[in-house]
Amino acid sequence: MPDEVRLAVQSGSRWGEGAGSAPALHADGTAASGEAPPALAAGGRFAGPGSEELRAVSRAWEDAHYNAGIGRDDIFDKLKEECGVFGVFGTPDASSLAYYGLHALQHRGEESSGVCTVDSATGGFAYHRGMGLVKEVFTSDILASLPGDRAIGHVRYSTSGASQLGNAQPLVFKYRDGDLAVATNGNIVNAPSIRRELESMGSIFQTTSDTEVIAHLIARSPKDFVSAARDALRRIVGGFAFLIMTNERLLVASDTNGLRPLVMGRLGDGYVFASETCAFETIGAEYVRDVQPGELLILDADGLREERFDEEERRASCAMEYIYFARPDSDINEVNIHTARKQMGRRLAVEAFVDADIVVGVPDSSISAAIGYAEQTGIPYEMGLIKNKYSGRTFIQPSQELREKGVKMKLSAVRKIVQGKRVVMIDDSIVRGTTSLRIVNMLREAGAAEVHVRISSPPFANPCYYGIDTPDRRELIASSKTVEEIREAINADSLYFLSAEGLVESASVPGDSKGGGLCLACFNNDYPTPVDESSDKSCSC
């Protein structure tokens, strides 16, 4: 290739020392089978500090999402986070740590997962990627074939037309200076234009992932690796958290607005990095701090260097992380997610009290807000909706009738609890409105006398260009309907959305940036970077 970069698209291979050795496959890309990795030690999940209430919410979250492999899929018409990243540097058995770290981040991506390691003895790469959940892709034998004290890992959600092994990460390349592996969470807004430019100069792209852009930018640069990476990061625009690994170094970078979360921790003498702090709790690592916007961390044999690839722009942490995506036992920008969601519920109660008999949260991400609403109003919180964690993963059904059955298979109303009751139903967001309508009708069919819907976020009216898989603007019900029209569409007795001010005050993000340090573009159309509405909104992962 003109820029001398070659992508390894196989699911797994071992690369020898030096840039010229050819890959030797050790897996065929199909779902892994065989002995599973050892289970987490007793008490290992959510073992960090926190209230019993937080631990209970976290256990419910894990049971619903991981133990049965059930995710927030298309049946529920919910937004999808695209990716989660995890990195290890300077800690033995890095692949096993990456496995457990990715397991903790499974909610951020259920389509594929992968791990790439550097053998500290030879400096060579070993990696494995596969389609499916972390526990489906990796076995004890596979982890044993990934030696080393350095690793980067990735979990990914699919985007339209991109559900293929070649897009699973980490993406692994060979170029003139050796081996290169890249894992990212987010979306590069200007990737299409950079890609066209690179293709016009002879670059050949082998995936549909925009993450490949940064590898080509690095490979074409005449500068040393760190300088080339710094220049490449300056060129790209969007929301991203990057882990970039070579045979000698690990680079960690966050976009200049801090849109996508990325945290740093310590484990013994080594360092760990993750999209969320819940991954640190799982492996027993100590949280150090969040990676700052525009920051570039360089880890090599000399230790850790803290630099910048660019100056911080307006801080704009993704509001949907606090509302919906992140696990309740995670902290983002030192704000606990469960606490923030409870406060959103409390603020909802102040802004939109309604006389009712019970408060019900839509499992699972709305439970914390429902608890807050109930505590503020004194109305009892009840488990009026139950998610069936053993229903299996379901996908878009071919008919409306089957789709309705799919919803009922995964979620059911508890008739003995809701019958004859005036119900306040708390949910985190309304996207198209179809799911809200189904759940409201489900409560009515179970005998609810009234159903009042309270949403712990403002109306979601604009698409995201920074790594959330959102529908076209025309499909977002809040982009074309008033609150009253949405209420009629979902068959609710009343409807209220949390105000933007209430959201910002509830999240309590440190600092005094515009929007309280949050990106509220999906609510107010105020994007922190230039965007092209004709461009792809899909995640670059």
CATH code of the domain in which 468 resides: 3.40.50.2020
Same domain, 259 and 344: no
Same domain, 273 and 302: yes
427 assigned to a ligand binding site: yes
The CA distance from 135 to 176, in Å, is 35
Note whether 152 and 98 are within 8 A (CB): yes
Inside any domain, residue 243: yes
Same domain, 183 and 105: yes
Identity of the amino acid at 41: A
Q: What is the DSSP annotation of 473-532?
A: GGG-GGGTS-HHHHHHHHT-SEEEE--HHHHHHHH--SS--GGGGEE-HHHH---SS---
Same domain, 363 and 493: yes
541 assigned to a ligand binding site: no
Annotate 392-409 with b (16+ C-beta within 10 A) or e (fewer). eebeeeeeeeebeebbee
Same domain, 406 and 490: yes
User: DSSP code of 110?
Assistant: -
Note whether 124 and 172 are within 8 A (CB): no
pLDDT at site 164: 79
The region that residue 343 occupies, defined by phi over 0 for left and psi between -120 and 50 for alpha, beta otherwise, is alpha
Inside any domain, residue 326: no
pLDDT at site 356: 99
Beta-carbon contacts of residue 43 (< 8 Å; ≥ 6 apart): none
Residue 296: burial class (beta carbons within 10 Å; 0-12, 13-18, 19+): buried
Take residue 269 and report the two structure tokens written for it. Answer: 């003498």
pLDDT at site 208: 85
User: DSSP code of 177?
Assistant: T
pLDDT at site 285: 99
Full domain range(s) for residue 161: 6-16+25-32+82-314
Q: What is the DSSP annotation of 13-47?
A: EE--SSSSPPPEE---SSPP-SSPPPPPPTT-TT-
pLDDT at site 239: 96
Nearest CA-CA partner of 501 in 290, 336, 328, 350: 350
Note whether 38 and 53 are within 8 A (CB): no
Longest dimension (CA), the chain: 72
Inside any domain, residue 224: yes
Spatial strand order of the sheet with 358-361 comes to 358-361, 422-427, 450-455, 494-497
pLDDT at site 472: 84
Inside any domain, residue 135: yes
Same domain, 307 and 350: no
318 assigned to a ligand binding site: yes
Nearest CA-CA partner of 8 in 87, 89, 140, 125: 125
The β-bridge relationship of strands 358-361 and 422-427 is parallel
Inside any domain, residue 329: no
365 assigned to a ligand binding site: yes
At 437 the three-state DSSP class reads: helix
Query: Cα–Cα distances in Å, from 128 out to 12, 99, 224, 317, 319?
Result: 4, 11, 28, 31, 33
Same domain, 364 and 473: yes
pLDDT at site 32: 34
CATH code of the domain in which 126 resides: 3.60.20.10
pLDDT at site 3: 45
Number of domains observed in the structure of the chain: 2
Inside any domain, residue 369: yes
Inside any domain, residue 537: no
Same domain, 386 and 287: no
pLDDT at site 71: 42
Same domain, 107 and 206: yes
At 247 the three-state DSSP class reads: coil
Same domain, 229 and 106: yes
- Which of 286, 314, 342 terminates a domain? The answer is 314
Beta-carbon contacts of residue 352 (< 8 Å; ≥ 6 apart): 454, 496
428 assigned to a ligand binding site: yes
Gyration radius of the chain over CA positions: 23
- pLDDT tens for the chain, 541 residues long, are 444 455 554 444 444 333 333 222 222 222 333 333 333 333 333 333 345 665 555 555 445 444 433 344 444 566 766 699 999 999 999 999 999 999 999 999 999 999 999 988 888 999 999 999 999 999 999 999 999 999 999 999 864 335 678 889 999 999 999 999 999 999 999 999 999 999 999 999 988 888 999 999 999 999 999 999 999 999 999 999 999 999 999 999 999 999 999 999 999 999 999 999 999 999 999 999 999 999 999 999 999 999 999 999 899 999 999 999 999 999 999 999 999 999 999 999 999 999 999 999 999 899 999 999 999 999 999 999 999 876 544 333 335 455 556 666 789 999 999 999 999 999 999 999 999 999 999 999 999 999 999 999 999 999 999 988 887 898 899 999 999 999 999 999 999 999 999 999 999 776 656 668 999 999 999 999 999 765 555 555 6
Take residue 378 and report the two structure tokens written for it. Answer: 């004194």
pLDDT at site 388: 82
User: DSSP code of 248?
Assistant: S
Same domain, 114 and 180: yes
- Count of beta carbons in the 10 Å neighbourhood of residue 478: 23
Note whether 151 and 94 are within 8 A (CB): yes
pLDDT at site 76: 55
The β-bridge relationship of strands 518-519 and 317-318 is parallel
- CA dihedral sign, ordered 451, 452, 457, 458: positive
Inside any domain, residue 339: yes
Active-site residue set? 83
pLDDT at site 538: 53
The CA distance from 76 to 430, in Å, is 11
| Helix residue ranges per DSSP H, 105-242 | 134-137, 140-144, 191-200, 211-220, 225-235
Residue 206: burial class (beta carbons within 10 Å; 0-12, 13-18, 19+): middle
Nearest CA-CA partner of 207 in 225, 191, 228, 190: 191
Note whether 148 and 95 are within 8 A (CB): yes
Same domain, 305 and 424: no
